[in-house]
Amino acid sequence: MSLLGKLSWSALPLGQPIALAAGAMVVLTALSVLALVTWKGWWPVLWRDWITSVDHKRIGVMYVVLALVMLLRGFVDALMMRSQLALAAAGAPGFLPPEHYNQIFSAHGTIMVFFVSMTFMVGLMNFVVPLQIGARDMAFPVLNSVSFWLTAAGVLLMNLSLVVGEFARTGWLVYPPLSELAFSPQVGVDYYLWALQIAGVGTLLSGINLTTTILKLRARGMGYSRMPIFCWTALASNLLIIAAFPILTATFAMLLLDRYLGFHFFTNELGGNAMMYVNLIWAWGHPEVYILILPAFGVFSEVIATFAGKPLFGYRSMAIATMAICLLSFMVWLHHFFTMGASADVNGFFGVMTMIIAVPTGVKVFNWLFTLYGGTIRFSVPLLWSLGFMVTFVIGGMTGVLLAIPPVDFQVHNSLFLVAHFHNVIIGGVLFGAFAGYNHWFPKAFGFTLHEGWGRASFGCWVVGFYLAFMPLYLLGLMGATRRMQHYDERGWQPLMVVAWVGAVVILAGIACTIVQLVVSIRTRDRRRDRTGDPWNGRTLEWSVASPPPAWNFDSPVVVNGRDAFWTVKNGQEPEVVDASFATTAAAAPSPGRAGHGDGADAGDPAAGARPEPSVTVPPPSAVGVVIAFFAVAFGFGMVWHIGWLALAGGLGIVATVLRFSWLEREEIVVAPEALARSAMARPAPGGAA
The total of other beta-carbon atoms located within 10 Å of residue 51's CB is: 17
Residues 115 and 148 sit within 8 Å (Cβ to Cβ): no
Residues 541 and 131 sit within 8 Å (Cβ to Cβ): yes
> How far apart are alpha carbons 211 and 252 in whole angstroms?
25
Closest CA to 381 of 301, 439, 433: 439
User: For 15-45, b where at least 16 C-beta lie within 10 A, e where not — what string?
Assistant: eeeebeebbeeeeeeeeeeeeeeeeeeeeee
Q: What per-residue confidence (pLDDT) applies to 613?
A: 54
What are the angstrom distances between the C-alpha of 578 and each of 232, 575, 583?
A: 19, 6, 7
Over its C-alpha atoms, the chain yields an Rg (Å, rounded) of: 25
The total of other beta-carbon atoms located within 10 Å of residue 614's CB is: 8
Residues 110 and 117 sit within 8 Å (Cβ to Cβ): no
Put residue 553 in one of left, alpha, beta given phi > 0 → left and psi -120 to 50 → alpha.
Answer: left
> How far apart are alpha carbons 473 and 393 in whole angstroms?
16
Q: What per-residue confidence (pLDDT) applies to 687?
A: 52
Q: What per-residue confidence (pLDDT) applies to 523?
A: 96
Q: What per-residue confidence (pLDDT) applies to 667?
A: 83
Instruction: Find out whether the peptide bond into 548 is cis, omega within 30 degrees of 0.
Output: yes
> How far apart are alpha carbons 159 and 151 in whole angstroms?
13
Element (H, E) at 671: strand 669-671
Q: Half-sphere exposure of residue 180, counting CA atoms within 13 Å on the CB side?
A: 18
Cα separation of the two ends of the chain? 70
φ, ψ for residue 669 (rounded to 5)?
-85, 125
Alpha-carbon 49 to chain mean position: 23
> How far apart are alpha carbons 273 and 268 in whole angstroms?
7
- Long-range Cβ contact pairs of 523-529 (< 8 A, separation 24 or more): 524/451, 525/446, 525/447, 525/448, 526/448, 528/443, 528/448, 528/449, 528/450, 528/451, 529/447, 529/448
Q: What per-residue confidence (pLDDT) applies to 561?
A: 87
The pLDDT tens digits for 275-326 are 999 999 999 999 999 999 999 999 999 999 999 999 999 999 999 999 999 9
Residue type at position 345: D
Closest CA to 9 of 631, 649, 641: 641
Domain segments of the chain as ranges: 1-41, 42-528, 624-662
> How far apart are alpha carbons 586 and 155 in whole angstroms?
47
Which residues make beta-bridge pairs with 260?
none
Instruction: Find out whether the peptide bond into 177 is cis, omega within 30 degrees of 0.
Output: yes
* CATH code of domain 42-528: 1.20.210.10
> How far apart are alpha carbons 305 and 301 in whole angstroms?
6
Which residues make beta-bridge pairs with 617?
670
β-strands 616-618, 669-671 pairing: antiparallel
**Sign of CA pseudo-dihedral 399, 401, 404, 405:** negative
Determine what percent of the chain falls in helix, strand and coil, rounding each to the nearest 5.
65, 0, 30
> How far apart are alpha carbons 551 and 335 in whole angstroms?
46
Burial class (CB in 10 A: 0-12, 13-18, 19+), 168: buried
Q: What per-residue confidence (pLDDT) applies to 603?
A: 39
> How far apart are alpha carbons 300 and 432 in whole angstroms?
9
Q: What per-residue confidence (pLDDT) applies to 575?
A: 54
What are the angstrom distances between the C-alpha of 246 and each of 174, 212, 283?
A: 18, 18, 11
DSSP string, 377-407: ----HHHHHHHHHHHHHHHHHHHHHHHTSHH
> How far apart are alpha carbons 52 and 85 in whole angstroms?
44
For the chain, which residues score pLDDT lower than 70? 1, 573-614, 682-690
**Sign of CA pseudo-dihedral 530, 536, 538, 542:** negative
Q: What per-residue confidence (pLDDT) applies to 350?
A: 94
> How far apart are alpha carbons 175 and 109 in whole angstroms?
14
Three state DSSP letters for 147-207 = HHHHHHHHHHHHHHCCCCCCCCCCCCCCCCCCCCCCCCCCCHHHHHHHHHHHHHHHHHHHH
Rounded to two decimals, the pTM is 0.93
The residues near 297 (Cβ < 8 Å, ≥ 6 apart) are 229, 233, 322, 364, 433
The residues near 201 (Cβ < 8 Å, ≥ 6 apart) are 150, 249
Residues 312 and 225 sit within 8 Å (Cβ to Cβ): no
Residues 404 and 369 sit within 8 Å (Cβ to Cβ): no
DSSP 8-state code for residue 686: T
Which residues make beta-bridge pairs with 669?
618
DSSP string, 202-248: HHHHHHHHHHHHHHH-PPBT--GGGS-HHHHHHHHHHHHHHHHHHHH
> How far apart are alpha carbons 188 and 199 in whole angstroms?
17
Which residues make beta-bridge pairs with 672?
none
User: For 499-508, b where at least 16 C-beta lie within 10 A, e where not — what string?
Assistant: bbbbbbebbb
Q: What per-residue confidence (pLDDT) applies to 680?
A: 72
φ, ψ for residue 572 (rounded to 5)?
65, 30
